[in-house]
Chains A and B, each alone.
Chain A
Amino acid sequence: MDRHYVRKLPAMWWLRKRTYLVFMLRELTSVFVVAYALFLMVVIWRADDPGSFSGLFDALDSPVGLVLHAIVLAALLFHSITWINLTPKVLVLWRDDEQVDPRLIAGANYLGWAVASAVLAWLVLK
């Protein structure tokens, strides 16, 4: 093979295009999803012993705690919405020779998300 010129991707390649950045954010926000899920699991696991948490809950019930929650909520929404919007690409269904409308598949995911959130909210707030 003759001499070729080979170009290398710069380390910051994901800042070069909006689509790359959205992808990177979708991947990075998954860390928030996992971290907050673990946090919630610990809370539930120790729920019968409120004493061990009083300090933590006081800390969360503060401006810093609220800001942290707002950040986690934003990351979770970004992750969930970009993720659900991709589901119709993965799941392509056919019904009687006709492709099921991709919006229906994403819609079903949104519906599932809303129902699960409503049930959880009811359990927590009742």
Chain B
Amino acid sequence: MAPTDSDLSGRPVVMDVFRFLPDEETEPRFQRYEIPYRDDDVVLDALNHIKAEVDATLSFRWACRMGVCGSCGMMVNGEPRLTCETFVNEFHPEPIRIEPLAHFPVARDLVINMEDFMDKLPTVKPWLVPADPKPIEEGEFLQSPAQLAAYKRFSMCINCMLCYSACPVYGLDETFIGPAALALAQRYNLDSRDGGKAERANVVTSHEGIWECTYVGDCTRVCPKEVDPAGAIQMAKLSYATDWVKSMLLPGG
């Protein structure tokens, strides 16, 4: 018989948490915690309960608790998730396995080092490179709702890095610029006010750029903001390839 709600709430939440203390240990280990079940807890609440009541040495990142800041991403039972949006009752009473986001170096416990992404991000120039610069006195660049719709989806990224953890290409080769950064490049390429597509080409179309993507597509599946980085990268491939063919057919044009 399936356990009823009252049975479930009587049972403790079992969390197997990845621990790594660089000053004391050379190898990580898993530590099991058992804490009281509360129906409306998210995984981040459970971790905060552990930190406050059970083990203050546990380290993890979080800030907004509402899926906006992008800092609470972790592997929850092997899937990259925002822990502030992942409810404990999705897994309870099965044990919940918490690990730092895959493919990134672990600094301590559940805290990853994302310097690699921070270094790569500016290389794709994720800002408006105005097509026709004009002085501020002439006012803002206007945009129609359709022009906004063309890139809006790709602009919703919160830099949570779940997509990098889902991407086996990045896992195998960390030089890959990766889903979020390439999606942002495409977001600006699609912006009617932007003229930076050619400037971005040498990085975006380099070997570490869009052409390294083999379209596994898992980045899009795990993205909490429905950015669809895989789609953005495929669009970029088509768009840059079309430019290249045009440049071959119409030299100088």
Q: A: which residues have CB within 8 A of B? A: 1-7, 9, 13-14, 16-17, 19-20, 23, 27, 86, 89-92, 94, 97-99
Query: What chain A residues lie within 8 Å of B172 (beta carbons)?
Result: 9, 13
Q: A97, B144: Cβ atoms under 8 Å? A: yes
- The docked-state distance in angstroms from the alpha carbon of A23 to that of B106 is 28
Q: A13, B171: Cβ atoms under 8 Å? A: yes
Query: What chain A residues lie within 8 Å of B228 (beta carbons)?
Result: 89
Q: A5, B168: Cβ atoms under 8 Å? A: no
21 examples of A-B residue contacts, CB within 8 angstroms: A4-B106, A5-B22, A6-B105, A6-B106, A7-B102, A7-B103, A9-B103, A13-B171, A13-B172, A16-B78, A17-B78, A23-B215, A86-B234, A89-B234, A89-B235, A92-B231, A92-B235, A94-B150, A97-B144, A97-B146, A99-B149
- The docked-state distance in angstroms from the alpha carbon of A7 to that of B106 is 8
Q: Which of A13, A89, A91, A98 has the most CB of B within 10 A?
A: A89
Query: What chain A residues lie within 8 Å of B144 (beta carbons)?
Result: 97
The interface size bin for chain B is 20 to 34
B230 lies within 8 A of chain A by Cβ? yes
Q: B22, A3: Cβ atoms under 8 Å? A: yes
Q: A86, B168: Cβ atoms under 8 Å? A: no
A6 nearest CB across to chain B (Å)? 5
* CB contact under 8 A between A9 and B171, given known A89-B230, A92-B235, A94-B150: yes
- The docked-state distance in angstroms from the alpha carbon of A72 to that of B19 is 48
B38 lies within 8 A of chain A by Cβ? no
Query: What chain A residues lie within 8 Å of B234 (beta carbons)?
Result: 86, 89-90
Q: Using A7-B102, A13-B171 as known contacts, list a sample of 9 further A-B pairs with CB atoms less than 8 Å apart, ordered by residue number in A.
A: A4-B22, A4-B105, A19-B217, A19-B221, A23-B217, A89-B235, A92-B235, A97-B145, A97-B146
B238 lies within 8 A of chain A by Cβ? yes
Partner of A5, one of B78, B105, B218, B235: B105
B214 lies within 8 A of chain A by Cβ? yes
Query: What chain B residues lie within 8 Å of A4 (beta carbons)?
Result: 22, 105-107, 113
Q: A17, B218: Cβ atoms under 8 Å? A: yes
- The docked-state distance in angstroms from the alpha carbon of A4 to that of B115 is 12
Query: What chain A residues lie within 8 Å of B22 (beta carbons)?
Result: 2-5
Among residues of B, the one whose C-beta sits closest to the C-beta of A89 is B231
Partner of B216, one of A7, A19, A97, A99: A19
- The docked-state distance in angstroms from the alpha carbon of A121 to that of B238 is 32
Q: A5, B28: Cβ atoms under 8 Å? A: yes
Q: A9, B106: Cβ atoms under 8 Å? A: no
- The docked-state distance in angstroms from the alpha carbon of A13 to that of B20 is 23
